[in-house]
Each structure stands twice: as C-alpha cells, then as structure tokens.
Amino acid sequence: MPRFAANLSLLYAHLPFLERIKAAKEDGFEAIECQFPYQENSGAALNEITHLMTQLELPMVLHNLRAGDFAKGDRGLACDPTRVEEFRRGIPDAVNHAQHLGVKQLNCLAGILPEGIGRNQAQQIFVENLTYAAEELKKSNIKLLIEPINTFDMPGFFLSSSQHALETIMAVQSNNLYLQYDAYHAHRMGEDILRIEELMPFIEHIQIADHPGRHEPGTGEINYPDFFMLLDDLGYEGWVGCEYKELHQANFLKA
C-alpha cells in the first residue's frame, strides 16, 4: 500500500492551519503537504509550522511555488510572457520556505493561458521558466514538478494532460524536472489512470481525489483499489497526497 500524506489545503478546511497539522497526526497520516505554506495563505508563521511539524514528527513533502494572486484569478504564472520577472522573483522565497520546512520537491502551476497569447508563445515561455526554475532549485537539492490540471475545475489552465507534461519535460531537458500526477485531474480529462506505466519514470509525486465531488476515494467512480495495487506492482516509492474535501472522514483508510 502506498504512503499517504494529508493535503492541508483541502483537508480539515474548517480548522486553522496549525490545527490541521495536529488533525492529520491524530488521523494517522505519515506526512503532510499543502498548496501554499506562505503566511498570507496559511495564517501561520513559518517558524510555528516548522516547530509543530518537528514536535509531531510529521514531515511536509510538497508545496507549490508562488502562483500569483488566487483571489484575483491567478492560477500560476509560468506560461505568462508578461509576468516572467514576477515568476522568477518568487523562486528564492519558495526555496527558503522549502528549506525551512524540509520540503524536497516544489510544484509549479503553469497558469491560465493569458488572453491574446497563442499556445506556442505560452509554451516557449513555460519551457524557459521551467528551465530556469529547475536549475535554481537544483542548487538547493530540491526537485521541480509540474502538474496537469483539468479544465473543468480550472477553465483555461494551460497544462491539462499528461502528454503535454511529458512533451514539456522533454523540451526542458533538465534532470531536475518531474511529473506530479494527480489521478483526479487525469480522470476528469479522460485519461485511464490504470495505464500509467510509461509515465512512471517521470512521476515523483501523486495526488488523489474521487469524482464526482472531489471527495475521498470510495465516494465516487474512480477505481482506486486497483490504482493502489498498480502503484505497488510498479514499485512506486513516493508519496500519495490526499488532496480532497472529506465527505465522511479525512483518512479514507479508516473507512
């Protein structure tokens, strides 16, 4: 059975961020992850988060690079040719957070395709930004990940398929760029999550949620029992992030 990490951006959403960490420990999760650990998002200072994680022996295994202002509609900056400087300025801060929190991999959100920008131009900027970020993160021994996100939940998101992600990884030609495979997003885009053998050499992190509703496995139509067995058969040793909104309980393994 894979190792599961609680995603604190969706799980325990009714609690303050520090209380979410405690709840994840109480529910038996072995690790945590979050979308954005920055104080304006979490409401908790970096030192407070680090201290509690150490106290509870609960490591954080993933968070995102800065992705703009979500309240204003930003969903990442990496494909936007007008915001290259802003994207690159955010990298040192993300690395600083990752180093304090002990995080060894950072996810880069591609962003919404900007109005008036063609896909070829956006792809060129995306590749250039990822090339830059991959090398900057490598200096701190941190892996860079990219994540396809479905265009039903996030209309206009630039990176929405595993195939596009692989093409991008090949174009960047860095040994420090990997795939974050979210089975929920892949399923929503019509991909068969039980046919991921060719993706496995590129996958460094996996996330899950069921459909419909984006709740815990077992509440929807996705065949997670077979998916977890497949991960074991393929020798996957990374973490599986539980990035869902709990319907019945946070840790579906207790069901």
CA 237 → CA 140, 156, 207, distances in Å? 22, 32, 14
DSSP secondary structure letter of residue 207: E
Known catalytic membership, residue 198: no
One of 33, 147, 191, 246 is an active-site residue; which one?
A: 147
* Gap between the Cα atoms of 144 and 107, Å rounded: 6
Residue 40 annotated to the active site: no
DSSP state of 1: -
CA 112 vs. chain centroid, Å, equals 16
Question: Cβ distance 252 to 218 under 8 Å?
Answer: yes
Question: Of residues 33, 216, 243, 246, which has the active-site annotation?
Answer: 243
C-alpha to C-alpha distance for 54 and 48, rounded to whole angstroms: 10
* Cα gap 251→255, rounded to integer Å: 8
Q: Which residues are catalytic?
A: 147, 243
